[in-house]
Structure 1
Amino acid sequence: MKLKYFILLIVLASFGAIGYGFSIQEETEALSHKFIGFGTVGLFLVAMPLFLFKESKGKKMKDYMLTEENIRRMQKKEMEKPENQ
């Protein structure tokens, strides 16, 4: 199974658990809080890190960090802009 589909499965299951937790909130409040909590954990502690890992493969992290070289490059680009923009 591709990682993309696994992440999608986790996201859909998490949203389903959150929705189910809100729908049964009147009957069993403790169980509904568990479903909502597990859905939230699935989204933010499982699906999001897996997505970030999948999308950042092969990219240089140095390009996204604020280093001295990148600051100079940004300042140089700002100076090259025409005055009317």
Structure 2
Amino acid sequence: MKYFLIVSFLAILITGISGFVVKPDDLEGGNFLIGIAVAAFFFLWMPIFIYHRWKNRSVKDYMLTKENIDKMRGYSKDKNL
């Protein structure tokens, strides 16, 4: 999954850069490539990246429950903040 994300990011980046390089009189080809790169980045790459980063994590660790608040208070007392 890591390598897929890297390769797809590079492909999207190259597509976006090539959109700036294409001459403007080529029937709006540059704008089309930039649009495809932005759409692919936000609708394909970002959801896959977010899933990859969060797939083995528990949401309960990030919720403000009484136990987590008590842990934070105990941590600040130990560090003498």
Q: Same fold (TM over 0.5)?
A: yes
Runs of 4 or more consecutive aligned structure 1 residues displaced over 4 Å after TM superposition: none
Q: How many residues end up aligned between the 2 structures?
A: 81
Structure 2 residue 47 is matched with structure 1 residue 49: yes
Shift of 1:72: 2.5
Is 1:77 equivalent to 2:61 in the alignment? no
Residue 29 (structure 1) shift: 6.5
Structure 1 77/22 Cα, relative in aligned 2: closer, same or farther at 3 Å? Answer: same
Return the TM-score normalized by structure 2.
0.76
Unaligned residue ranges in structure 2 (runs of 5+): none
- Ranges in structure 1 where 5+ consecutive residues have no aligned partner: none
Counterpart residue number, 2:8: 10
Structure 1 residues 41 and 67: CA distance shift in structure 2, 3 A? farther
Output the TM-score relative to the length of structure 1: 0.73
SS of 1:82's partner is coil
CA RMSD of aligned residues (A): 2.1
Q: Which residues in structure 2 correspond to 1:10-49 (within 5 Å)?
A: 10-28=8-26, 30-49=28-47
CA distance in 1: counterparts of 2:72 and 2:23, whole angstroms: 51
Distance in 1 separating the partners of 2:40 and 2:66: 38
Identity of aligned residues (%): 31
